[in-house]
Chains A and B, each alone.
Chain A
Amino acid sequence: MLPCGVFNTTYEKDIAIVRTKTHWSMLIGFVILVLLGPQFLGPKLLDILNYLAIDLIAVLGLNIVIGYCGQIALAQSAFMAVGGYTSAILYGELGLPFFACLFAAGLSSGLAGLVFGSPAVRIKGFYLAMATLAAQFIIIWIIDHTPTVSGGYLGMEVGKPGFFGVSIDSIKAHSYLIFPITLIMIYLHKNLGRSRTGRAFMAIRDNDIAAEVMGVGPSGHKLLAFFLSAFYAGIAGCLWAHYVGRLHPEAFGLMDSIWYVGFLVVGGMGSTMGPIFGTLFLVSLTEFVRFISPVLAGSFPGLSGSIFAASAQLIFGLIVVLFVVFEPRGINHRWELFKNYYRLHPYSY
């Protein structure tokens, strides 16, 4: 449903992201808000927002492979680990410039995605889910068992990033690094969805045999989707590693990968807004649980240390199950319905 008075007369208009003057002003306002925000927000809130932005990049990547291409990937956090470790080693040991490390992190993670996504050429569905599950465990195991390179279970320190003479050492400075990169990644993701490659992904998602008949080669596109998805994960992992300043294999568990898929399912797959809604919703819910967990700890004595982990998992599981049962198309679908409603407002159709 388009805004009133907007018509698609050319193909360019049909695929345009920004259509009306209101859109333009909202977009510019939002970008200004994002860039000015760190000046006015406190460090606690900024910290949450930084993690949220990093999660968002990972979930956007996941959306490429699950939402656009219809393949199952349950190893996103392991790919983040690959990116994080690559960047940490290149930056710390070899002293490459930060942005080269960022790109190398994406690339190495993308290659890992290519390797572990290669079963997708032959198998799909549950089989593919199991293959990527295996990838999650194997990658983390390799990191754990190469102590000379990665520090093994002791973890490793990551240097604070700096470039062009600017050193990124405070939370606010990190926000100025992470937010623009996130905006760029969102834009690239949106662009992918309206390009030929994106449409090829969707054709494969809807029916891979039919796609092949129409001249879209499934194998190459599936591998490309895995590469791009892991590339996003690598960028997110690199930002995460430099933001936290410390890497440890246990920080990238299976549970984290499942959370990312959960973000995607709750938000809605196959759109750019879906991952954004899902990440916003579940991260704010988690933060709310973290906020009230000291109160809960009073009613569950004897586990005050793990009350947050327990209740966060419980609520996450509940939310995901409820969404699958009641709104499998995610928050984004509700948002689209709402948009249609207010654009038509006085009339019902």
Chain B
Amino acid sequence: MTFFIELILSGFMNGAIYAVLALGLVVLYKSSSILNFAHGELALLGAFLCYAAINQAGLSIAIALSATLLMSAGIGLFIEVAFLRRLTGQPLISAIMMTLGLAALLRGVVLLMWGPQPRSFELFPSKLLFIGDLVVSLEQIILLILLIGVVLMVGLFFKRTNMGLAMRAASEDHQAARATGVNLKNVFRLALVVVCVTATTGGLIISGLYGLDFNISDIGLKAFAVILLGGMDSIAGAIVAGLLVGVLETLAAGYLDPFVGGGVAEIFPYVVLLLLLMIRPYGLFGLIRIERI
């Protein structure tokens, strides 16, 4: 039983990371109907920037964290102005190839700057807490609170502010939104900033928990399963599905790994993704699109 509860807890942790990353993907998809294949690479870049700020520039953790988030916002603006803005009216494969090319570019940059070797990365004090039979690390609890904070902030932003309303309007119909006075350029810019900041947050948390490794960019692709499960255009869906996929993945890995020789967690989100696409492509909370010529 303790094993089960520990799995659930660490599943929640993974799920919260998925939720933050999926949030960024959904925000971009909602406002510009582009799916960002470079999400994991943005997370990777953010984590390495923070690592450089702490270990190479010698900043304190608080300053380094805020500097990293600011820098990632700047990167988001740059990507919007330089690349994504040109995608209006282009076929879908262009949008896909653009973000895939961006992913390769970012990987190359990180590899050139920091090399491929994994590094240890201490963001928060690690201390184990014992609650009855359970073992929980303090790190996990801090990060979980942080994640819930980010998720709540983005959720409230979309529900309560004018800009959030404008972004939701833009996601419905670009022309109609423009006609009612929404500045689409600002919407796209803001969407890209949200994308980069959420990706960086996700990257920081993964690297804080598991160490800084080149493979953390894989999580950007795994988050696709999450947004599909939640529905590509639902923020609440992204959060619920993120937690769900995280917990299920950890449970599947915990109970199935001994039978197939490990590695279930690597593949689990993709299996979910494929099954979902065949059964219910619009997800739990997404809109069902009706198509006309």
Are A209 and B293 in contact, CB atoms less than 8 angstroms apart? yes
Interface of chain A, main secondary structure: helix
Are B92 and A314 in contact, CB atoms less than 8 angstroms apart? no
Are B92 and A126 in contact, CB atoms less than 8 angstroms apart? yes
What's the A-B contact tally at a CB cutoff of 8 Å?
A: 149
Q: Which of B83, B111, B260, B291 contacts A306 (CB 8 A)?
A: B111
Decide: A145 near B93, CB < 8 A? Known: A135-B274, A325-B86. no
Q: Which of A302, A306, A307, A320 contacts B97 (CB 8 A)?
A: A320
Residues of A within 8 A of B87 (CB): 324
Residues of B within 8 A of A191 (CB): none
Q: Which of A155-163, A164-172, A257-265 contacts the other chain?
A: A257-265
Residues of A within 8 A of B101 (CB): 262, 316-321, 324
Decide: A324 near B263, CB < 8 A? Known: A131-B274, A134-B271, A316-B104. no
- Residue interface bits A210-232, CB-to-B below 8 A is 1, else 0: 10000000000000000000000
Q: Which of B35, B90, B111 contacts A126 (CB 8 A)?
A: B35
A105 to chain B, nearest CB (A): 24
Give the docked Cα–Cα distance between A130 and B225 (Å): 8
Query: Does any Cβ of B come within 8 Å of A40's Cβ?
Result: no
Query: Does any Cβ of B come within 8 Å of A133's Cβ?
Result: yes
Residues of A within 8 A of B148 (CB): none
Closest to A296 in B: B112
Give the docked Cα–Cα distance between A327 and B83 (Å): 13
Are A265 and B93 in contact, CB atoms less than 8 angstroms apart? yes
Give the docked Cα–Cα distance between A144 and B266 (Å): 12
Decide: A314 near B108, CB < 8 A? Known: A207-B293, A258-B100, A262-B100. yes
A57 to chain B, nearest CB (A): 20
B266 to chain A, nearest CB (A): 7
- Residue interface bits B180-223, CB-to-A below 8 A is 1, else 0: 00000000000000000000000000000000000000000100
Give the docked Cα–Cα distance between A310 and B116 (Å): 9
Decide: A127 near B83, CB < 8 A? Known: A265-B97, A303-B115, A321-B101. no
Residues of B within 8 A of A258 (CB): 100, 103-104
Query: Does any Cβ of B come within 8 Å of A17's Cβ?
Result: no
Query: Does any Cβ of A come within 8 Å of B252's Cβ?
Result: no
Query: Does any Cβ of B come within 8 Å of A66's Cβ?
Result: yes
Residues of B within 8 A of A141 (CB): 263, 266-267
Query: Does any Cβ of B come within 8 Å of A342's Cβ?
Result: no
Residues of B within 8 A of A306 (CB): 111, 115-116
Decide: A145 near B228, CB < 8 A? Known: A133-B221, A315-B108. no
Decide: A321 near B102, CB < 8 A? Known: A133-B221, A137-B270, A265-B93. yes
A212 to chain B, nearest CB (A): 10
Q: Which of B105, B109, B277 contacts A321 (CB 8 A)?
A: B105
Residues of A within 8 A of B260 (CB): 145
Chain B interface residues (CB < 8 Å from chain A): 29, 35, 83, 86-87, 90-94, 96-98, 100-109, 111-112, 115-116, 221, 224-225, 228, 232, 260-261, 263, 266-267, 270-271, 273-274, 277-278, 281, 291, 293
Q: Can you list 26 A-B pairs, Cβ within 8 angstroms, ordered by A?
A: A119-B274, A122-B277, A122-B278, A122-B281, A126-B29, A126-B96, A127-B228, A129-B35, A133-B270, A134-B271, A138-B274, A141-B266, A144-B263, A145-B261, A261-B100, A300-B112, A303-B112, A311-B108, A314-B108, A319-B101, A321-B101, A324-B90, A324-B97, A325-B83, A325-B98, A328-B91
